[in-house]
Amino acid sequence: EFCKTSEIKEILYKVLVVGNFGVGKTSVIRRYTSGIFSPHYKLTIGVDFALKTLIWDEHTKINMQLWDIAGHERFGHMTRVYYKYAIAAIIVFDLTRLVCVMCGIHRCCLWGLSILIILILFFPLFYFRQPTFDAVQKWLDDVRQKVVLENDEPVPVLLLANKCDLDNTTAQVDQSKLDQYCEDHNLIGWFPTSAKDNTNIEEAMSFLIEKIMQIS
Ligand code: GTP
Ligand code: MG
């Protein structure tokens, strides 16, 4: 009888964290699970795991198992295996690169061959500034294709616009556009986040957990 009073339900949630390379997936996860941030980029190879245990309320303990999937993995063959039994997904993109897309890399292509040559010459530069918001759509398609809930419903997907600490990026984000995007594509919502400054990380994760608890 004494034991009954301390009965706690323990739940495990597998959550995927996806997005292009370098957008800050590992940083967001490390900030959330260990409270630390490193400015040095160490790319993830394949997949990494992190666990966060939360005492949600007096009866519930939640183990968030975060699957940190390397940015280049969408082109790999393993994602279907990685995605199995996931209950939710987080798509991360880099706010600073959104600005770059908005100013129109695609339009540049219309300028003809001379621009093309410049593009080739500066290839590494453009490579690192590839439009990650386009990538959001690709990652979303990937998640939708490869994972569904037990009842065949789509998994809840949260969008994180990361690196909001960097210069005047938040001001340039079209918030209503992102709201609209989430509505159109059935995402549960989006947050501007910074793994560096610890902005909205806890808030975003709690928001996701609440959504997961509503469906499970
Ligand atoms: P892959 O493992 O290659 O897919 O990359 P990733 O998405 O895990 O990126 P990672 O977390 O390794 O971060 C890439 C770089 O961005 C690192 O140098 C981080 O320090 C930096 N970074 C991540 N989050 C933030 C942020 O919120 N603000 C700033 N200023 N830099 C960040
Ligand atoms: Mg990583």
| Ligand at shortest distance from the CA of 18 | 1
Is residue 103 predicted with pLDDT exceeding 50?
no
- The values of phi and psi at residue 160, to 5°, are -115, 120
Compute, in angstroms, the gap from residue 192 CA to the centroid of ligand 1.
14
pLDDT tens per residue across span 14-42: 999 999 889 999 999 999 999 999 999 99
ipTM: 0.99
Is residue 53 scored above 50 in pLDDT? yes
Residue with the nearest Cα to atom 29 of ligand 1?
A: 163
Q: Which of 123, 6, 128, 140 is nearest to 74 (CA)?
A: 140
**For residue 188, what pLDDT is reported?**
98
Specify the pTM: 0.84
Q: How far apart are CA 24 and CA 192, in angstroms?
A: 12
SS3 for 5-61, per residue? Answer: HHCCEEEEEEEEEECCCCCCHHHHHHHHHHCCCCCCCCCCCCEEEEEEEEEEECCEE
pLDDT of residue 111 exceeding 80 = no
Q: Is pLDDT at 3 greater than 70 in this prediction?
A: no
Mean pLDDT of the chain: 84
Per-residue pLDDT of 147-171, as tens digits, reads 999 999 999 999 999 998 986 555 5
Alpha-carbon distance values, 143 to 74, 79, 116, 209 (Å): 10, 9, 33, 18
Mutate to test the pocket of ligand 1, among 21, 26, 27 (most ligand atoms within 8 A of CB): 27
Burial of residue 1, with CB atoms counted within 10 A of its CB: 0-12 exposed, 13-18 middle, 19 or more buried: exposed
pLDDT at residue 101, rounded to an integer:
39
**Ligand nearest 195 Cα, by number?**
1
The pLDDT, as a whole number, for residue 213 is: 94
In this predicted model, which residue has the larger pLDDT, 139 or 72? 139
Query: Which of 17, 20, 21, 26 to mutate to test ligand 1, by most ligand atoms within 8 A of the CB atom?
Result: 26
Pocket of ligand 1, beta carbon within 6 A:
19, 21-27, 38-41, 43-44, 70-71, 162-163, 165-166, 194-196
Q: How far is the C-alpha of 102 from the C-alpha of 131, rounded, in Å?
A: 9
Instruction: Report the residue among 31, 34, 37, 41 best suited for mutation to probe ligand 1: largest number of ligand atoms under 8 A from its CB.
Output: 41
The pLDDT of residue 109 is above 70: no
Instruction: Kindly give the distance from the C-alpha atom of residue 12 to the centroid of ligand 1, in angstroms, as a whole number.
Output: 26
- Of 35-49, 172-186, 187-201, the poorest mean pLDDT is in 172-186
The rounded Å distance from CA 71 to ligand 1 centre is 11
The predicted structure's pLDDT at residue 172? 58
